[in-house]
Amino acid sequence: MKTNKLQKISAVQHRIANQWGFRPDSFHASNNLILESSEVFFEMVTFGEHAIIRVDKEMLAWCEAHMNKLPACELMDGDQLFLIEAELRKHGKKLAGEHVRYLYGKQTSVKKPSGYEYRLFDQIELKELYANKNFHNALIYKNDVIALGAFDGQQLVALAGADDYMKNLWQIGIDTLPAYRNKGLATYLVQGLAEEIETRGAIPYYTTWGANIASTLVALRAGFFPAWVSYYAVEHDQI
């Protein structure tokens, strides 16, 4: 889907609003929006202004008392994250960590690493990759729809894959074998896959977290820009 940055952000906001059950213009409201949810225990998302929070009824009152008026940049910072984590622990949950989501903005000049063979895998073909456990970021083994791999001879050494868990928003993940890192493969594959996804009418996005500098650099060099941030809760014994 060849659209500009604002159109892509709007499309993501509409997708999240539709999935969560609220009006898209709530992202631009004067206060945070807190929704009772039976689908997840706790999740919050922001595009830089205010936060949208969906939460189980067990923690709803606490969120309304503590999270209603704070700007998202404060909610998703140390002190408030500590308070949220402490409250989640009372319910046997914990935060899964920061998720910074990037959208593909514009084509940048990415050099194609030489000496490798490249192959595009469609939804049926990529299942042959499932036996290889070296690419757990590129493949989620469910909802995978497309992948682009780099081969050194017969060996698959780097793979970018995408899933359609969010319907027309396809999330890209990347893995490179340790001996082949810092050779430009990750950036080339991520951008190549993003371009292919757009030709198929979907919107590519990429996820990492602030401390993962290497992954962040891949996103930026491939032409992605930061668009939204989310946190969600998982069971205490997960991760």
Domains of the chain in start order, with CATH, are: 5-102 (no CATH), 107-205+214-222 (3.40.630.30)
Long-range CB contact pairs, 154-158, < 8 A, 24+:
156/129, 156/132, 157/116, 157/185, 158/185, 158/186, 158/189
Q: How far apart are CA 112 and CA 42, in angstroms?
A: 42
- Please compute the mean of the pLDDT values over residues 129-151 and round it to a whole number: 94
User: Do the Cβ atoms of 63 and 88 come closer than 8 Å?
Assistant: no
Reduce the DSSP state of residue 23 to 3 states and report it: coil
User: Do the Cβ atoms of 194 and 223 come closer than 8 Å?
Assistant: yes
Give residue 2's pLDDT.
Answer: 60
Give residue 3's pLDDT.
Answer: 72
Q: Would you place residue 239 in the very low, low, confident or very high pLDDT band (cuts 50, 70, 90)?
A: low
Q: How far apart are CA 130 and CA 104, in angstroms?
A: 27
The two three-digit tokens of residue 66, written as one number: 């503590």
pTM recorded for the entire structure:
0.93
Axis-axis angle for helices 57-66, 78-89 (nearest 10): 150
Our CA dihedral for 112, 187, 164, 212, rounded to 10 degrees, sits at: 170
pLDDT over 70, % of the chain: 98
Q: Residue 151: enclosing H or E segment and its boundaries? A: strand 144-152
User: Mean pLDDT for the chain?
Assistant: 94
- Please compute the mean of the pLDDT values over residues 87-92 and round it to a whole number: 97
Q: How far apart are CA 129 and CA 152, in angstroms?
A: 16
